[in-house]
Structure 1
Amino acid sequence: MKAFGKILGLGLLGLLLIIVALGFALTHLFDPNDYKDEIRQLARDKAHVELTLNGDIGWSLFPWLGLELHDASIATLNAPKSPFADLQMLGLSVRVLPLLRREVQMSDVRVEGLNLILTRDEQGHGNWEDFGKPLPASAEGKTPAPGDTQGTENSDQRSGTASADRPVKLDIDSLTVNNARVQYTDARSGVSYNAESIQLSTGAVHEGASIPLKASAFISASQPNIKARTELAGELRLDRALKRYSFEDMRLSGETSGEPTGGKTVTFAAQGQLLLDQAANVASWNGLKLSANQLRALGELNLRELDKTPQLSGGLSIAQFDLRTFLDGIGHPLPATQDPAAFGKLELVTRLQGTPASIALEDLSVKLDSSTLTGRVAIEDFARQALRLQLKGDSFDADRYLPAKSEEAKGATAARKAQVQQQEASAVAGAGSTPLPDAPTQGAWSTDKLLPVDRLRALDLQADLSFGSLTLDKLPIGNARLTANGQGGLLTLQTLRGDLYNGTFEAKGTVDVRPAVPQLGVNTRIQRVPVEHFIKTDDKNKTPPVKGLLTLSSDLTATGNSQKALVDTLNGTANFTINDGVLVNANLEQQLCQAIATLNRKSLSGEPRGKDTPFQELRGSVVIRNGVASNPDLKVRIPGLTVNGHGDVDLRVLGMDYNVGVIVEGDQRAMPDPACQVNERYVGVEVPLRCRGPLELGAKACRLDKDGMGKVAAKLAGNRLKDKIDEKLDEKLGDKVSPELKDALKGLFKR
């Protein structure tokens, strides 16, 4: 028995030596380079590819089946002269015995200088789509026999089923790819993409185990022109049986530049845990960290129903950053705003929901500069730009974010301001002895473009905004509410309302950008709001010319896309009332006393007392035609006075030209100025005033109408003559004639 075991051992040793000797003989005496043509033909027949072997083939047989290919390329049978892949060297080795168990155990796999060229022709056909496909039967001069196709399909199905039942098990010590390149070109769209200097290295590749991975590449695109350097690292885990794939501790970083960033370089990075579960049709990105220049974001993303319409959910938090600096750094600078510090601070927290066609920021909390807004922002359809806004804010100063004035607009404003100051310096409100100010000629409005017409035409908008305090055109609107919608180029302001200086404000309107020239319409309702807040200037030291509580209703239309164009085409009607008001720095009583003294042919002996003229009510209606507002029925109630007026306000230059008639009672003080006393013949006489000049001057632009005063004096002289005749008739006739005859005689002198 012992001798038998010895003989068996020697036999096995001899067999092993024979196998080793055969392997040595095959690998050293048999040269595969001598059979390149047979190998190429085998590739055509079995793999249906065109294999070109320009370099040497190196190989080993046992216990590793090793292979090295140098300077090789591969093409489809349809285009054998146009290889879509070539490489400088491919080196790999496989253990022989595990192959019998459908297990692939490899040592290190190395790929050097891989060049993959993918093209899509004018008809949309990709050169890779024919890879592994045989030539059509007609091309080979063969006609498949009936049933052959079906048999082939059944055979393929059987082999496919067998393959599915017995998946190949992968076991690779490492994979290394150096200096690879992938190029994609679409002839129909003209777009091309390139990935160059691709470096890829992995640790051991085992099913169900973490695979360390590192990769880097330079990526470029033609439309738009963009370049990027990228680096990727992490641990890849594959479980094909469970259809579960994960990328743990993923770290992507790099930098990019090109047309989308205005030529500026943007540094970016991303981290997190990626998971794809095809069995459950879900994917996730947990521990998400994103950065782009100074922007930093945290969150998580989840996708479900991958086999249907994918549904996105998750959360996102962006730390405070300077939005203006960030956008400038990625080549999309914000336009200059009235406040240069606007958009300096932005941070947000939100919950995400979306589909391939939409995205919604739910439970949104945004801090923008000194404002906090909460609510919802959504794009319900990317193709239609369907924007939905539901936001509530504590306070928001909209003026800070309006476009800054251009240099041209600033120059026009400065020129008009200088003209007004010059006229104001010469306008003395006292006795009114100076000439009337000239009518202003400088335009008061900017020609800067107001509306982004192209964007508004494509916008589909529904907005519902509310603010505890909203500053708009320097007016603080409390409890403000704004609702608006827009579609197809027609924007409708359903309402903008709120509290304003203890009064109320409401506006409705439309903006129609469908025509070449935008058309605007607006209705406003103002209830008991201090009027001085509407007419104050940028000069804080300058007092508004009139004060009081304004009640206004208006219905206006205009066309154009600048302040000047809108004012030049402004048309409509308005009704206004100002209660409990004051004409500031305008001693109207003094000017009226001057008029009475002129009629009395006397001079005022006292000095002007008050600077202002209070009034109980000022009201009227306005018809506006092409920027000129006509007011035919101005009425002012002043204690002791009745004021009527009519005239125009040229909104284009903010100038006025009014004729005002004042019926006075005279100096009602206990010790009146003797020159300003009203006797009976002045009762009911209307003293004419003329007001002309910049609107900012208010009543300081009013003077006695000398021509009108002459007519009043003539009328008073006639009345005085009549009174003297009546006195003489009474003296002469006495009681000698009847009263009826006496009145008839007096009537003769009236004619």
Structure 2
Amino acid sequence: MIKPIKIMLICIVASILILLIIVCTLLLVIDINDFKPEISTAIKNRTGRNVTFNEQLKLTLFPDLSLSTGAIVLGNPDGIQGYFMAVDDISLRLKPLPLLLKKIDADTVQIRGFKLNLITTPQGIHNWDTVFTKINDSSTHSSALIAGLSLNGIDIKNAHINWDNQQTGQNIEIKNLNINTSSIAENTPVTSDFSLLAVDKAKQITASITGQTTLTFKDNLDIFALNNTYLHTTVTRKLMAEKPVTFTLNSPEVLIDIPRQSIKVHELQLKSANLLITSDMVANLNSPPTLSGKIRIMPFNPSQLMTRLALHLPERKDSNTLNYLDSQFSFHATHDSVEFNPLMMTLDDSLITGSVIITDYARPSTTFNLAIDSINMDRYLPPPMNKHSKPADPASTLSAIPIKTLRNLRTTGSLAINKLAINNATLRDIQLTLGE
């Protein structure tokens, strides 16, 4: 009994040795760089873009099968200058035996010098449109690859992303992007830590962001779930003499549905000092794209927040005003309009309800329908220069409202005030209509 087992083990070991000898012989005889044209063609077929290898590919066998790409550049579509994506080096180490079973068992994938150059031309053409379409078309192959994939993680250092919108003149740069993930395998959540620096060059706004999230693949890569996402952000504006603003953003679940082209955000929370905003929202990325949901602004003190942000507080007779604000509303936004309906807000002792619609972001046009239960304007007006001066007539005060100026703002709507106190007088059931 022992002899057959011994012979079987010898045969297995001999087979492995023969396989290793064959692989070693191939590595000695065949240069992987000879296959660059075939690799370039395969990438061209998948992405629709030309690829350039600026350095020699490196393939070694011992102690593991390892590959290093060197510098690679993926071009833009015809008619757009520059490159779409570039990388200084991608390196990984594979265990050779799982490859025989069509599985990939690899160490941490290291990506150095990753650069992504996103461009929107003056004609509204995006340089990422066709490449993403072709990659999405191969989702069946990607899901099969994930089924046999096992990685110790992905380590991205000093990545750089630039978005140049030549239609609007907006340019956003993301630099010092670092991402480190946990192990990646089928049906295994992937935890990622990341940090980056985002710069809006036109507005001279800089945001430093650190965070963590857990990614889960669902339904053959059709749905991605981001769980327990947490962001810590510090925003600085160079054009303003204001203090940096620090806030946190977290959500227990974000669902990205590729077939439906939608993103659902559940229980989003934004915190900054004494301000807390919660929201549930859905983004529909189909044409035309829309964003809708509900927002709740928890009670906070506006005066304290403005003081912390080094913003100027308006002079007012009663310093106890602007000390309480809360709001909740539903919203629906498109590429050129946003509607807040229904809207409810409490400012100090006043309740404001109704709806607001804003269209044409380039030259905003606002339509509103608001109602205020009661408001004491005397508390919000500046203190008089001379405390012995007589109060003005309420009717003359209302007539001083610059209606013509308001009309030039392309604003229409109606305002109903149940009770208005102004200049020591009380007015009731006021109806104001503003029209073009």
Q: TM-score range, shorter-chain basis?
A: 0.7 to 0.9
Partner of 2:225: 246
SS in structure 2 at match of 1:70: coil
Partner of 2:430: 482
Partner of 2:108: 108
Counterparts of residues 28-43 of structure 1 (less than 5 Å): 29=28, 32=31, 36=33, 38-43=34-39
Partner of 2:169: 190
Q: Deviations over 1:36-82 (max 9, x none)?
A: 4x34433443323232333x543235895421133444435859994
The answer to whether the 8 Å contact 2:143/2:220 transfers is no
Q: CA deviation at 1:217?
A: 0.5
User: Does 2:265 match 1:285?
Assistant: yes
The counterpart of 1:230, out of the listed 184, 192, 209, is 209
Q: Distance in 2 between matches of 1:346 and 1:22?
A: 77
User: Does 2:43 match 1:47?
Assistant: yes
Partner of 2:157: 178
Normalised TM-score (structure 2): 0.78
Q: Deviations over 1:623-666 (max 9, x none)?
A: xxxxxxxxxxxxxxxxxxxxxxxxxxxxxxxxxxxxxxxxxxxx
SS in structure 2 at match of 1:9: helix
The answer to whether the 8 Å contact 1:88/1:112 transfers is yes
Q: Deviations over 1:134-158 (max 9, x none)?
A: xxxxxxxxxxxxxxxxxxxxxx9xx
Counterparts of residues 323-402 of structure 1 (less than 5 Å): 323-327=302-306, 330=309, 333-334=312-313, 336-339=314-317, 341=319, 343-356=321-334, 357-360=337-340, 362=342, 364-366=344-346, 368-369=347-348, 371-379=349-357, 381=359, 383=361, 384-393=364-373, 395-402=374-381
Q: Identify which of structures 1 and 2 has the higher relative contact order when contacts are C-alpha pairs closer than 8 Å and 6+ apart.
A: 2
The counterpart of 2:181, out of the listed 202, 226, 251, is 202
User: Does 2:250 match 1:271?
Assistant: yes
Q: CA deviation at 1:358?
A: 2.7
Normalised TM-score (structure 1): 0.48
Counterparts of residues 32-181 of structure 1 (less than 5 Å): 32=31, 36=33, 38-48=34-44, 49-54=50-55, 57-61=57-61, 65-76=65-76, 82-96=82-96, 103-128=103-128, 163=141, 166=144, 168-169=146-147, 170-181=149-160
The answer to whether the 8 Å contact 1:337/1:403 transfers is yes
Partner of 2:408: 457
Give 1:476's aligned amino acid: T
Q: Distance in 2 between matches of 1:21 and 1:236?
A: 41
User: Does 2:253 match 1:303?
Assistant: no
| CA spacing shift, 1:293–1:373, aligned 2, 3 Å | same
SS in structure 1 at match of 2:107: strand
Q: Deviations over 1:97-137 (max 9, x none)?
A: 6556665443211112223333445555555567699xxxx
Partner of 2:393: none
Counterparts of residues 310-329 of structure 1 (less than 5 Å): 310=290, 312-321=292-301, 323-327=302-306
Q: Distance in 1 between matches of 2:201 and 2:375?
A: 42
The answer to whether the 8 Å contact 1:207/1:239 transfers is no
SS in structure 1 at match of 2:429: strand
Higher Cα radius of gyration: 1
Higher helix share: 1
Q: Which runs of 5+ in 1 are unaligned?
A: 134-155, 421-444, 489-751
Q: Distance in 2 between matches of 1:242 and 1:50?
A: 26
Q: Distance in 2 between matches of 1:466 and 1:115?
A: 56
The answer to whether the 8 Å contact 1:53/1:70 transfers is yes
Give 1:339's aligned amino acid: K
Give 1:239's aligned amino acid: K
Q: Deviations over 1:543-597 (max 9, x none)?
A: xxxxxxxxxxxxxxxxxxxxxxxxxxxxxxxxxxxxxxxxxxxxxxxxxxxxxxx
Q: Distance in 2 between matches of 1:209 and 1:253?
A: 26
| CA spacing shift, 1:8–1:113, aligned 2, 3 Å | same
The answer to whether the 8 Å contact 1:358/1:379 transfers is yes
Q: CA deviation at 1:232?
A: 1.8
Q: Distance in 1 between matches of 2:26 and 2:340?
A: 67
Q: Distance in 2 between matches of 1:14 and 1:101?
A: 19
The answer to whether the 8 Å contact 2:146/2:186 transfers is no
The answer to whether the 8 Å contact 1:358/1:382 transfers is no
| CA spacing shift, 1:132–1:24, aligned 2, 3 Å | farther
Partner of 1:702: none
| CA spacing shift, 1:211–1:130, aligned 2, 3 Å | closer
The counterpart of 1:472, out of the listed 399, 422, 426, is 422
Q: CA deviation at 1:215?
A: 0.9
The answer to whether the 8 Å contact 2:352/2:371 transfers is yes
The answer to whether the 8 Å contact 1:119/1:187 transfers is yes
Q: Distance in 2 between matches of 1:208 and 1:315?
A: 33
Give 2:38's aligned amino acid: L
Q: Distance in 2 between matches of 1:77 and 1:374?
A: 52
The answer to whether the 8 Å contact 2:54/2:70 transfers is yes
Q: Distance in 1 between matches of 2:100 and 2:430?
A: 75
| CA spacing shift, 1:179–1:287, aligned 2, 3 Å | same
Give 1:114's aligned amino acid: F
Q: CA deviation at 1:181?
A: 1.1
Q: Which runs of 5+ in 2 are unaligned?
A: 45-49, 391-395
Give 1:226's aligned amino acid: I
Partner of 1:633: none
Q: CA deviation at 1:338?
A: 3.4
The answer to whether the 8 Å contact 1:459/1:486 transfers is no
Q: CA deviation at 1:451?
A: 3.7
Give the root-mean-square deviation of aligned CA atoms: 4.1
Q: CA deviation at 1:460?
A: 2.9
Q: Distance in 1 between matches of 2:292 and 2:219?
A: 25
Q: Deviations over 1:467-523 (max 9, x none)?
A: 3x421122133xx222222232xxxxxxxxxxxxxxxxxxxxxxxxxxxxxxxxxxx
The answer to whether the 8 Å contact 2:177/2:196 transfers is yes
Q: CA deviation at 1:196?
A: 0.7
Q: Distance in 1 between matches of 2:73 and 2:138?
A: 28
Q: Distance in 1 between matches of 2:166 and 2:10?
A: 69
The answer to whether the 8 Å contact 1:63/1:96 transfers is no
| CA spacing shift, 1:312–1:173, aligned 2, 3 Å | same
SS in structure 1 at match of 2:203: coil
Q: Distance in 1 between matches of 2:262 and 2:271?
A: 25
Q: Distance in 2 between matches of 1:398 and 1:30?
A: 89
Identical counterparts, % of pairs:
14
Give 1:192's aligned amino acid: N
Give 2:106's aligned amino acid: M
Give 2:265's aligned amino acid: W
Q: Distance in 1 between matches of 2:160 and 2:414?
A: 49
Q: CA deviation at 1:251?
A: 0.9
Give 2:408's aligned amino acid: R
Q: Deviations over 1:178-222 (max 9, x none)?
A: 111112224454332111110101111234332111111011112
The answer to whether the 8 Å contact 1:350/1:361 transfers is no
